[in-house]
Structure 1
């Protein structure tokens, strides 16, 4: 037997050190990265079941925005959805997000309703917080995008981010070509999604 699978490419963008990799690894592997190692490029494939549909998220974790290259432009052209990451402990990283958001709109051209989720990380570091909830509400209204506050360390709202984006992509691209996948043997009980690092 074969299952129908919806496959979507996702790119994670933001400044260096804001917690992009920690966010992705927490979602993809259920682990917390405590050490910061600058990412060049990491790719994860995650099997997700949402509302009875078999989906695959092909997540690309990229280098910091300050190292924005032509390669990032290629990712943006190809991607269906975007996770824009800033740190709640560094207000200046919001400017990077705004620049990236505008870059996406410029590259995607006239495409409407681009699936995007904006993510503030390090929610657990309350004493170091610089970005207020009022600022987030104001930007969410101005940009018309969903914002999430997360903690990869404590696993707060991480899954919500990717499931919101997946829901947006499914609505935006309802005719996305389906792939057929051979049915594998059932695995033991575990997380609702399974991911592979590439």
Structure 2
């Protein structure tokens, strides 16, 4: 008969941290803790259920070194993370947004020269907002946030890449995300100018 307290404590397969009943995450061959899950799932944006132990270990090791000087202080959807303390952003580049798996990208806020919402067909931003509010007929073919860096690079956060009706919930939600991303980057850039 097993007495209370004699049960072997389960630990994370990667870091050996104790696992509680509700603080464990399943992958193909076992369980990991929340900290390792955050690394292996690309900041909670990808599933790990079918990943092997080797894949999980590799992701945790890579992510551990990649984000040492990035402290998440905010996020907008599965698109972007903010680090106000170290004045950086992280573009998650998850499969949903990019249609491919790629590494997260980190950029200092002071290297961003411009951030704006780009959409096709083009019209004044206020006109598009009015059309969304009034649920007007029409279609938007693409919607993304463009981030221009001082070195001339241009990064994109695609929100819509196929035609969507202006009056649809998907358009309203995507436009809301785009506005929040652009406004937050501009707010944080403005803070660095004032400092």
Higher relative contact order (CA 8 A, sep 6+): 1
TM-score normalised to the size of structure 2?
0.22
Whichever of the two has the greater Rg, that structure is 2
TM-score normalised to the size of structure 1?
0.21
More strand by share: 1
